[in-house]
Every structure is written in C-alpha cells, then in structure tokens.
Structure 1
Amino acid sequence: MTNRFLGVRRAVTAAGSVALLGLVAGCGNGGSSDGTSSAPRTESGTATSSATGAPTGTSGVPTDPVSNSLTPSAPPVSASATRCHTSELSASVGRNNPGAGQENFPVVLTNESHRTCTLYGYPGTAFVDASGKQLGPDPERSAGKPETVKLPPGGSAWAGLSFSNPEISEAATATPAALLVTPPDEEDPLKVTWKGGAVPVSGDESSVRLIPFSPGTGA
C-alpha cells in the first residue's frame, strides 16, 4: 500500500496545478471561510477522474441527489449489472500508513451480503463534524485507472485517501467526528467514526486525494 500511495503523491506533485480536493464532493458545494459548509454532499463513486483532476459523476445529499454536469466513462457492463449496493456493505477506515509528510488511510468496503458483487471506481467521501456539517473543500481523484473488484461474501476492497500532514503543511485543521463513504454509483452513504485526528480544511495545502478501489483491505 505504501508504494501505491507514494506513486499517487509523485503524480500529484508532477501535475503542478491540480484542482483542490477535500473529503466531500459535489458540484457547486463551496465551503465557508472557516472550512465548513452547511450541507455535506457525498458523491457516488465513478469510473474516472476528469482531465483537470476535478470530480466527475453524480453527487448529492442522500435524500436529494444532484446531477453533476460532467459524465464519467461508464463502468464495464458486468460491473454495472452486479455492483455492490450500500445496503450490502459495511465501511471502515484502516490504519494510517504515513510517509514523507503524508497521511495515508485505506477506506475499506466489505461485502456483508450473501452474493458476489463488484466495485468499480472511486468512493464518495465527506468529513463531517458532530452536527453533520461538511469539513474541508471538495475531493480530488487521482488519474489512476480503475479496475473492477469482485467481492465475494465477506470480501473487501480499499480506496486510498491521503493528505499532507497539517503540522508540516501548516494548513488550517479540524477534527472530524465521522467520515461519510458512498459506494460507487450509489447515493446513500455509510458513516464511519473518524479516529485519524485532525485533517486539513483550508489553505494552500488542504488538498485530500483519492485513489480507486483495489482488492483487499490496504493493510
């Protein structure tokens, strides 16, 4: 997992002017000056990132989905037909694997159903405080190539979430109460208690990056 996270970090560095990323996606969901917004909107995960690094696909509040004007490439037919639904999954956040000033967490989805299903693309993610308000800017997806991950009953897949250590970057921070995780092409999120400490929410180094799902737990 370490090498993959490091590869994403190098790619982001080489890109130069990459769009800001936070832990909540959603077109037009601007944050306030204190790094919060009143309506967190987790986006459904999608197959690809846009050319500029901005999120693509569908996003919205779980009870009021909002379509994004950007349309990603469709997942393979087999992945679309057998995709895992939120009701079939549980979510967790694995152990931090820090390196070179970066904090790297695997976001893990596990199949709790009795059938084999698939995940393809990126999760929707959102840091929220105890009252449910979004913390931080919108997320940015890496340019990694997604793969269809088959999850048998009890199987897991992980997507990487990384950001610069706030103590080094000097970005403004907040400590989330939870991370909302929305499976690819779903609208309803899963809520995971956040135990990873402070996260960057504003400033030049507040970007948080996502890499697409891979098999396993990322441990």
Structure 2
Amino acid sequence: MRATVGRVDPGAGQRNFPVVLTNTSDRTCTVYGYPGAAFVDASGKQLGPDPERAPGSPGTVTLTPGKSAWAGLSFSSPQISGARTATPAALLVTPPDEREPLKVTWTAGEVPVGGDESSVSVTALEAGTGP
C-alpha cells in the first residue's frame, strides 16, 4: 500500500486535501472505514491531536492491483481561524486495520495544532483518487 496527498482543494475558509491509498501489491485487497492520520515534525513527534472522524457511512472499497481509495482531510484555514499552527514535515497515514503508518512528506504549509477552530477532520475512504 502506498499513501499520497493530493493537491489542496480550497473552500470558503477551508483547506481540503485528498489522502489517497493505492494498492501496490499484486493481489486484490479491501479497505473499510477511516484511515488514521497524524501530522509530525522532522523528529517524528506528533503535532496537534488526531483528526476527528467526519460523519458519514463507511463502506468497503475493493482495490484491485493499482487501484486507489481516498479520504478527505480538512481543516479551517489557520489565517482565518486564528488557530495555533505548526508546519509539519510529514503526514503519517495508517490504513484501516493496519498498525504501521505510511509516511507522506507534507509540502502544504501550516496546519492548525491548537486553540479555537483548530480541529482537523478526516472522511471515510471511498473509491478513487479524490473529488
């Protein structure tokens, strides 16, 4: 399994990113539910709390070799919300029912890590690579 983060899809005061999991094996697999996600600094220390799970109805996604599932990672733009921020070195993404996270270099700048309006949310996985 490989994890990637797609381009930001800005909304009104929001920053939205597709977090994509791709089946890199030669066998079909399934994923169900929400991925784990954590922003970390260069030393691996977590920045801010774990993202909240957005409301929704998870479903099973079947991934044949080379196919992908994605989840939306969203937060209020720190410049608007006034949240305390940090610039992570990476996003750790843990596929459902797995223990080992996949490390993705974070290049999208500051993220909220505390204070008012600092919550980050993640949606359930669905087929494809983004909206």
Tell me if both proteins adopt one fold, taking TM over 0.5 as the criterion: yes
Matched residue type, 1:179: L
Q: Which residue of 2 aligns with 1:217?
A: 129
The structure 1 residue matched to 2:21, chosen from 109, 128, 135, is 109
Q: Which residue of 2 aligns with 1:168?
A: 80
Rounded Cα–Cα distance in structure 2 between residues aligned with 1:139 and 1:93: 15
Q: Which residue of 1 aligns with 2:64?
A: 152
Q: Which residue of 2 aligns with 1:99?
A: 11
For 1:134, what is the secondary structure of its paired residue? coil
Q: Which has the higher strand share?
A: 2
- Asked if structure 1 preserves the Cα contact closer than 8 Å seen for 2:29 and 2:63, the reply is yes
For residues 81-115 of structure 1, the C-alpha deviation after alignment (integer angstroms, 9 at most, x for no partner) is xxxxxxxx000000100011000001000000111
- Asked if structure 1 preserves the Cα contact closer than 8 Å seen for 2:38 and 2:93, the reply is yes
Q: Which one scores higher on RCO, CA 8 angstroms, separation ≥ 6? A: 2
Structural mapping, 1:121-132, within 5 Å: 121-132=33-44
Q: Which has the higher helix share?
A: 1
Matched residue type, 1:195: T
Q: CA deviation at 1:138?
A: 2.5
The structure 1 residue matched to 2:98, chosen from 183, 186, 196, is 186
Rounded Cα–Cα distance in structure 2 between residues aligned with 1:184 and 1:117: 12
State the percentage of identical aligned residues: 73
Show structure 2 runs of 5+ residues with no match: none
TM-score (norm 1): 0.59
TM-score (norm 2): 0.98
For residues 96-145 of structure 1, the C-alpha deviation after alignment (integer angstroms, 9 at most, x for no partner) is 00011000001000000111111100001110000111001232101200
Q: How many residues align?
A: 131
For 1:191, what is the secondary structure of its paired residue? strand
Task: Please identify the structure whose Cα radius of gyration is greater.
Answer: 1
Show structure 1 runs of 5+ residues with no match: 1-88
RMSD of aligned residue pairs (Cα, Å):
0.7
Matched residue type, 1:172: R
For residues 4-56 of structure 1, the C-alpha deviation after alignment (integer angstroms, 9 at most, x for no partner) is xxxxxxxxxxxxxxxxxxxxxxxxxxxxxxxxxxxxxxxxxxxxxxxxxxxxx
Q: Which residue of 2 aligns with 1:199?
A: 111
